[in-house]
Structure 1
Amino acid sequence: VSRWTLEMPSLSSNLDDTSLYYLLEEWALNPSGINMKMFLIPPVVCLVAGVLIIPTILFVIFSRFSIRQETRYMLLGNALLSDLIYLLFYTLSAALNAAHVHLPKEACVLLLFLLAAAYCGGLFTAAAIVLDTYIAILFPLRYIAILPPSRTRKMIVLLWMCSGAFPGIFFLVLSSTHSFVPCVLEMCSVPVILILTLNGTDAVKLCFWLSNTVIFLCLCLIFCCYAILYFKTKQSGIWEGICSRASVTFLMHNTVLFFYFFPLLALFIESFLCINVVIRLQTGIWVSLTVCNVLMILPKVLFPFLYGLRYREISASLKSIVRRKHLHLVSPAPSPS
């Protein structure tokens, strides 16, 4: 019997425990190197795209006093920062697993915590952005009084505290129940961890389903706010024409919302099928790899393009920076005296 089997706590699952142990051990030792490297391509591409655009937008936001004093831009900057952190740490995790580098348990737990905190930060900030838009459109005369810059900064601090406390509580529960099975397996892969949670102890399963519930509630809040905004402003005339700015903005926002919602729906369906032994463990791992390495990181790189560049002030500032650099490069040399 391998040392992974000896150290692993008992699992309450419909799957055969011994088969699960050996399948996961075989996956850890021989995880189809070529296929794993192919799954590394989407995170790397998204990280490169994110590094090229996100710091530029953040520079525009924080370098201009008039922009960084507005609530919508402070929330946008916070969301972009969360997404950039998530892209960095997830790509690092995917690269380490593709290179078969095994992290110590403490490093694995820290990496997972940072990923969870960054993901929650991005999701909670996205919900805050929708609430900000909701208040700005439905209560325009009271908007400044409701969300002044000072209150927005406090709200951002609160968002980060919630983003750290939410996964922190679950990690403490898992630590107290000795349920960090993935770290015992020396396998710090998020897709594999998602599979393990479905076959773990009751505490692990409870944390998994509570996390899904909170995420779905956030997405439902975002969807309800968009629906209310649409019906409240339907008679105002801003939706006339399919190419109107309101229609295009609404379409882009819902596109990002879809890319946030669909991966979670896919994970929920895959979880249900795994629990009821409709699909094999290997199939579940491949589905989790596809969802985590492609679908869950795609909105992180779409967000700055569909949200950030839609703001006139940010796009105008970027154009002025590019124009200034172009003029500096082509300016003629001074004539000799």
Structure 2
Amino acid sequence: MNHSNLSEVSQKWHLVMQSQRMNFLLIPAAILTTVTLVISPFILFCIFSSPSLRQETRYLLLANTLLSDILFLSFNLTNISCNALDMEMHYVFCEVIMVTTLTTYCSSVLTVTLMVIDTFMAVRWPLRYNEILSPSRVKKIVGLVWVIAMMCPLSLLVVTAVRKQEKPGNLKGCLVLLILASMEDAIGISLHVYFSVWVIFCSILILYCYIRLYMVTRSSGIWRNRYSRARQTLLAHAVMLLIYFTPGLVFTVELAWFTALQNNLNLAVWICTVNLAVLMVVPRACAPYLYGLRYREVYERVQQMLWKARLNQTTNSSPTPASS
């Protein structure tokens, strides 16, 4: 597939979505996104409004994960809604969606990987931890994460602009998978290598950190007690990593096997739609609870803010004494 027949392929995918009645997947996507867009910004506000939390490395990384997730969910829901409402979208709008979703998704995955490294360093070198990962250094690392996350999608825009490929006008369905699959063969190979290298690198890094964490902590007794908080936290983080990485792995396989999947178009459209509307949304809906509120300091800060809000509401709603 190339840019010249992207509009035709997009039309076929849209017809399959309508014939298979996949618009119902918008319901769980909208519910999960709405709930997340309520709790995640509130946790972000609690972190940034507390001077002590702002100085903690793990909370800065948590804040960047939540920020990336908020942006990703906003653009993703906009895209899914436009596709479900049978709206034709200009190719430039789809390029913007591609850049924003790829950037925010990569930022989330890279930051989650950094959170594992942060936990490993805190356990492995507790005395030198604050020296190695000072707040100022972590802020620079977070900035670097965004730069790395933007490199691939922005490079694609520059390359397509320089080569002056013929671009379609309006598309019946805006899907990042179709846009990337329509790139030239040389660009497609580079994309496969780029995504594969990052998936393998992050997976190996996370696996190494968890193995080392187990080796360091196995003598402490946390693995003997089934209900210890440390054990539950590590297991919760492992589950979160799995559901964060699975959609990216599915997307990478879809992109690599795009031509083969076209032989069974219904299956290809189902996999892509479920991945966008469910698999990519679920980890971001779980993150505020399994990541954010499991931190005792964040949970206490949230409770404090809610208590203050409730107290102010009670004070404002209480009747004022009548003047004599």
Give the shorter-chain TM-score range. 0.7 to 0.9
CA distance in 2, matches of 1:287, 1:30: 12
2:227 equivalent in structure 1: 243
User: In structure 1, what is the equivalent of residue 294 of structure 2?
Assistant: 310
Q: Which residue of 2 aligns with 1:26?
A: 12
Q: How does 1:1-337 map to 2 (within 5 A)?
A: 8=4, 24-28=10-14, 31-32=17-18, 35-177=21-163, 186-187=171-172, 189-190=174-175, 193-194=176-177, 197-198=180-181, 201-213=184-196, 214-268=198-252, 270=254, 274-276=258-260, 280-330=264-314
| Residue 293 to residue 207, structure 1, CA distance change in 2 (3 Å) | farther
AA aligned opposite 2:221: G
The 1:300–1:220 alpha-carbon spacing in structure 2 relative to 1, beyond 3 Å, is farther
Is the Cα–Cα contact under 8 Å of residues 43 and 87 in structure 1 kept in the other structure? no
Q: CA deviation at 1:179?
A: 6.3
What runs of 5+ residues in structure 2 fail to find an aligned partner? none
| Post-superposition offset of 1:62 | 0.5
- 1:318 CA displacement: 1.3
Question: Which whole-Å CA distance do the structure 1 matches of 2:261 and 2:107 have between them?
Answer: 34
Partner AA of 2:112 in structure 1: A
Displacement of 1:282 in angstroms is: 2.5
Number of equivalences: 320
Q: CA deviation at 1:145?
A: 1.0
Q: CA deviation at 1:269?
A: 5.0
Check 1:86–1:319 CA distance in 2 against 1; reply closer, same or farther (3 A cut). same
Separation in structure 2 between the aligned mates of residue 120 and residue 36 of structure 1, nearest angstrom = 26
- Cα offset, 1:281, TM superposition: 2.1
1:71-107 CA-to-partner distances (Å, cap 9, x unmatched) read 1111110110000000000000111111222222222
Amino acid in the other structure paired with 1:8: S
Structure number with the bigger relative contact order (C-alpha 8 A, sep ≥ 6) is 2
Amino acid at match of 1:121: S
Q: Give the Å deviation of 1:21.
A: 7.8
Q: Would the aligned equivalents of 1:46 and 1:298 in 2 still touch at CA under 8 Å?
A: yes
Instruction: Give the secondary-structure state (helix, strand or coil) at the position aligned to 1:154.
Output: helix
CA change 1:305–1:180 in 2 (3 A) is farther
User: How far 1:184 moved relative to its partner?
Assistant: 5.2
Q: Secondary structure at the match of 2:83?
A: helix
Alpha carbons of structure 1 residues 93 and 308: separation in structure 2 relative to 1, 3 Å: same
Q: Distance in 2 between matches of 1:293 and 1:271?
A: 17
Instruction: Report if aligned partners of 1:75, 1:156 keep a CA contact under 8 Å in 2.
Output: yes
Matched residue type, 2:53: I
TM-score by length of 1: 0.84
Relative to structure 1, the CA distance from residue 199 to residue 329 in structure 2 (aligned partners, 3 Å threshold; closer, same or farther) is closer
